Amino acid sequence: MISTNTQTDSLLVLGGCRSGKSRYAEEWLNSRFQRKLFIATLATSNDQEMKTRVALHRQRRDASWQTVEEPLRLAAIIRGKQSEVDAILIDCLSMWISNCLFAEMSDTAIEEEVQQLALAVQKLTVPVVMVANEVGLGLVPDNPLGRRFRDLAGLTNQQLAAACTKVIFVAAGLPLPLKG
């Protein structure tokens, strides 16, 4: 089904691990759009369990999905690909922040990337859905890298929630509207 909505929606889907947030995001797009772009932020992994998870995610998506694996340059990818598709899904922002940390980017550089993504989302001509882990409900990490990740992920979620027209929190597979 091709959307007849004239307003470009931007949706942030938050939730805990295994909450159903990715499935919700995919189903939301599947029910509305024909040509969809899936931007996978997971960098290629040698971890067999992670490879199995990726394969299961791929099995859920049919031929109407184009997939791009991009661990770092999200704003550039969505700006460059928007004319080729009806809607975009980025899964997941939390992994993106991890990738930035492992690329040894400074907090300032990561915050600039987040700002660029927020600006790109607001200027898109097609709807975008972004998936992220809600990190504010967990324990305080016991190490500096864990706390740095939590702080950057929380900041990212806040900035992108402000930039989006809708925000949904998913718990136990159930969507809870937070905005829009």
Element spanning 66, H or E: strand 65-69
10-179 fold: Rossmann fold (3.40.50)
State the Cα–Cα distance between residues 74 and 56, nearest whole angstrom: 23
pTM, to two decimals: 0.90
Contacts of 113 (CB under 8 A, 6+ apart): 72, 74, 75, 100, 105
Q: How far is CA 37 from CA 40, 83, 89, 130, in A?
A: 10, 11, 6, 12
Active-site residues, by number, are 57
Question: Which residue shows structure tokens 């929190």?
Answer: 169
Helix, strand, coil distribution of the chain in percent, nearest 5: 45, 20, 35
- Convert the pLDDT of each residue in 97-125 to its tens digit: 999 999 999 999 999 999 999 999 999 99
Indicate if the pLDDT at residue 95 is higher than 80: yes
Where are the domains positioned within the chain? Answer: 10-179
- Convert the pLDDT of each residue in 14-48 to its tens digit: 999 889 999 999 999 999 999 999 999 987 667 88
Token pair belonging to 72:
């770092």
